[in-house]
Amino acid sequence: MAKRVVVVGAGISGLTCAYRLQRSGLDVIVLESSDVVGGVIQTDNEHGFLCEVGPNSFQGTPEVFDLIREIGLEGELVTADSRLARYIFHRGKLHPAPMGPGALLSTKLLSLRAKLKLFREPWVRPYQGASEESLAGFVCRRFGPEALRNLVAPFVSGVYAGDPRCLSARSAFPMLVEFEEKYGSVLRGFIRSVRKTPKPRRSRSLCSFVKGLHTLPRVLAEKIGAERVLLGARVRGMRPSEGTQIGAYTLRIQRGGENYELGADVVVLATSAYRAAELAQTLSLTLERELAAVEYPPLAGICVAYKKGAVPHPLQGFGFLVPRDEGVRLLGCIWSSSLFPGRAPEGYVLLSIFIGGSVDPEVASLSDHQVIEAVTQDLRTTLGVQIAPRVLTLNRYGHAIPQYGLGHEARLSRIKGELQKLPGVFLAGNYLRGISIGDCIKHSTLMANRLIHHGDTEGTEAHGVGL
Ligand SMILES: Cc1cc2nc3c(=O)[nH]c(=O)nc-3n(C[C@H](O)[C@H](O)[C@H](O)COP(=O)(O)OP(=O)(O)OC[C@H]3O[C@@H](n4cnc5c(N)ncnc54)[C@H](O)[C@@H]3O)c2cc1C
């Protein structure tokens, strides 16, 4: 009889994993507590606007394109050029973020002194310290404090909603540390890697779908089968099975006001770390503690619209990011209607704004009205719009994006060690090895493949996290 695998969580990690396991012939059931699949990937249609409530786009990587091709979504794909200008707000103006050596020379985001420091980077000695280096420490050491403040920190806000002083350089941006270790310089490593990548570099495209990002989880769930993806099914707890119970683990599920129990040979926890911690309680207190310690700052995401004529800026590009201490609270603004077609009705523009994160956790205590006020004020300052926007969606995250803080790698090792004592329990999700949609797909696929190819549901090689 096929092994019964229960995947908890129908975000992109859980669905990718479930899809791969099911294709290999395993008996898979997905349990999702909310009434819709996709986790943080949600698209809303509001009065003719296509609003991405969570992520706005994903980077096309080989693993993502493979999945899209397999589930027949190629025809739905829309791409934007990843070389679209990104802007950074500095001293009252939007400046294009420098994307190459020439632009670094001419950018107004850095002083002459900072530029000189930047171009001396290939001669900076590799890190000699004994303790793990923060991202801020790494960037300051190699590129200087201005590059950190005006270029890297805003980018970190855009990706992690994070604080570079608290993130681990090695865990949050492993490629930077790898370049230093391998080539003795980030710039040298970057140039080598660009030379090595064959053209055309389709993988650098930013992608979405005609009807928005939710298309991906929706179609994945359809492929798995509605009868196998149970919505509104919250897993309240799990424990090792006893005596004659089916499967190695018994899950306690609440659905439609009723409580059920379900046996599983293999359980993949594909939730956020803090939810996985709740479920790990009855299995291992160490595992629970390690998972609960992953930090997630609060964040608010807002989609707003204006009539085109109301915005003095041409909005040609991806959008803009804001360094701290520029008198603007929002972290960044994506010009959604400039990125992909069909996002706004004719004559309107659609913007997605993020506010909060590790550098501004107080946003969690603001009312919706105060958040909208702050955004309106900031759009006046940055884009020169004089009127209040039409607010289409406002989404609050108590726990938004996991922070790969100092000690992240050591935590993953301890988690792996604990999982070795729990045969048949696996973890997948964005708090392990990369937060982007592409990373979630890649690592869930790797995890599923290891589980399939080692035929290992009892435990040897395939053990553990989506590592
Ligand atoms: C605001 C925001 C913007 C982002 N922007 C981008 C972007 O532009 N590009 C990009 O590549 N990435 C972006 N990301 C990151 C990326 O979207 C996420 O890392 C990824 O989608 C997470 O997927 P996941 O499946 O690991 O987790 P989730 O999406 O969190 O899914 C976990 C699922 O588990 C369910 N669940 C939890 N507990 C239980 C339980 N007890 N029982 C049953 N079900 C349970 C939840 O309801 C949820 O559906 C963004 C993230 C956020 C939050």
The mean per-residue pLDDT over the stretch 128-137 comes to 94
The mean per-residue pLDDT over the stretch 454-460 comes to 47
Ligand 1 pocket, residue 378 CB under 6 Å: no
Ligand 1 pocket, residue 291 CB under 6 Å: no
Tell me if 13 sits within 8 A of 307, measured CB to CB. no
Strands 266-269 and 425-427: parallel
Q: Which of 363, 437, 441 to mutate to test the pocket of ligand 1 (most atoms within 8 A of CB)?
A: 437
Instruction: CATH 3.50.50.60 in the chain: give the residue spans.
Output: 4-41+214-295+405-465
Tell me if 184 sits within 8 A of 126, measured CB to CB. yes
pLDDT at 241 over 50: yes
DSSP-assigned letter for residue 245: -
Ligand 1 pocket, residue 430 CB under 6 Å: yes
- Of the given ranges (98-107, 309-318, 367-376), which has the lowest mean pLDDT? 98-107
Q: Quick one: three-class SS letters along 76-130?
A: HEEEECCCCCEEEEECCEEEECCCCHHHHHHCCCCCHHHHHHHHCHHHCCCCCCC
CATH superfamily of the domain spanning 4-41+214-295+405-465: FAD/NAD(P)-binding domain (3.50.50.60)
Q: Which amino acid is at 92?
A: G
Confidence of residue 81 (pLDDT cuts 50, 70, 90): confident
DSSP bridge partners of 396:
300
Q: Which of 16, 32, 40 to mutate to test the pocket of ligand 1 (most atoms within 8 A of CB)?
A: 40
The mean per-residue pLDDT over the stretch 31-44 comes to 98
DSSP-assigned letter for residue 11: B
Ligand 1 pocket, residue 393 CB under 6 Å: no
The mean per-residue pLDDT over the stretch 69-80 comes to 96
- pLDDT the model gives residue 467: 45
- pLDDT the model gives residue 290: 98
Ligand 1 pocket, residue 429 CB under 6 Å: yes
Instruction: CATH 3.90.660.20 in the chain: give the residue spans.
Output: 42-82+205-212+297-400
Spatial separation of the C-alpha atoms in residues 84 and 230, rounded to whole Å:
40
Confidence of residue 191 (pLDDT cuts 50, 70, 90): confident
| Strand stretches in 270-326, DSSP E | 299-307, 319-321
The mean per-residue pLDDT over the stretch 225-247 comes to 90
Q: Among residues 216, 188, 210, 200, which one has the least CA distance to residue 68?
A: 216
- Contacts for 258 with CB less than 8 Å, ≥ 6 apart: none
Spatial separation of the C-alpha atoms in residues 233 and 463, rounded to whole Å:
26
Confidence of residue 462 (pLDDT cuts 50, 70, 90): very low
Interval between CA 296 and ligand 1 midpoint (Å): 12
Count Cβ neighbours within 10 Å for each residue of 218-253 and write b for 16 or more, e otherwise: bbbbebbeeeebbbebebebbeebeeeeebbbbbbb
- pLDDT the model gives residue 454: 67
Spatial separation of the C-alpha atoms in residues 323 and 166, rounded to whole Å:
16
Spatial separation of the C-alpha atoms in residues 94 and 123, rounded to whole Å:
31
Residue 50, CA distances (Å) to 43, 212, 438 in order: 7, 7, 22
Q: Per the structure block, which two tokens stand in for 55?
A: 């992520």
Q: Which CATH number fits domain 42-82+205-212+297-400: 3.50.50.60, 3.90.660.20, 3.40.50.620, 3.40.50.9100?
A: 3.90.660.20
The secondary element (H helix, E strand) that includes residue 395 is strand 390-397
- pLDDT the model gives residue 109: 97
- Residue with more model confidence, 3 or 71: 71
Interval between CA 120 and ligand 1 midpoint (Å): 40
CATH superfamily of the domain spanning 98-196: protoporphyrinogen ix oxidase, domain 3 (1.10.3110.10)
Q: Among residues 404, 440, 432, 456, which one has the least CA distance to residue 163?
A: 404
DSSP of 178-225: HHHHHHS-HHHHHHHHHHHSPSS-GGG-EEEETT-TTHHHHHHHHHH-
Spatial separation of the C-alpha atoms in residues 236 and 234, rounded to whole Å:
6
Interval between CA 41 and ligand 1 midpoint (Å): 6
The mean per-residue pLDDT over the stretch 453-460 comes to 51
Average pLDDT, the chain: 93
Confidence of residue 247 (pLDDT cuts 50, 70, 90): confident
Q: Per the structure block, which two tokens stand in for 45?
A: 């249609």
- pLDDT the model gives residue 193: 84
DSSP of 137-194: HHHHHHH-HHHIIIIIHHHHHHHHS--TTTBBHHHHSHHHHHHHHHHS-HHHHHHHHH
Cis peptide upstream of residue 145 (ω within 30 degrees of 0) = no
Strands of the sheet with 77-80, listed across from one edge: 58-59, 206-209, 77-80
Ligand 1 pocket, residue 382 CB under 6 Å: no
Confidence of residue 419 (pLDDT cuts 50, 70, 90): very high
Spatial separation of the C-alpha atoms in residues 79 and 57, rounded to whole Å:
9
Nearest atom (ligand 1) to Cα of 58 = 11
Interval between CA 122 and ligand 1 midpoint (Å): 37
Q: What would the pLDDT profile of 364-391 be if each residue is shown by its tens digit?
A: 999 999 999 999 999 999 999 999 999 9
Tell me if 323 sits within 8 A of 92, measured CB to CB. no
The mean per-residue pLDDT over the stretch 31-55 comes to 97
Confidence of residue 346 (pLDDT cuts 50, 70, 90): very high
Confidence of residue 3 (pLDDT cuts 50, 70, 90): confident
Number of helical H runs and strand E runs in the chain: 17, 21
pLDDT at 464 over 50: no
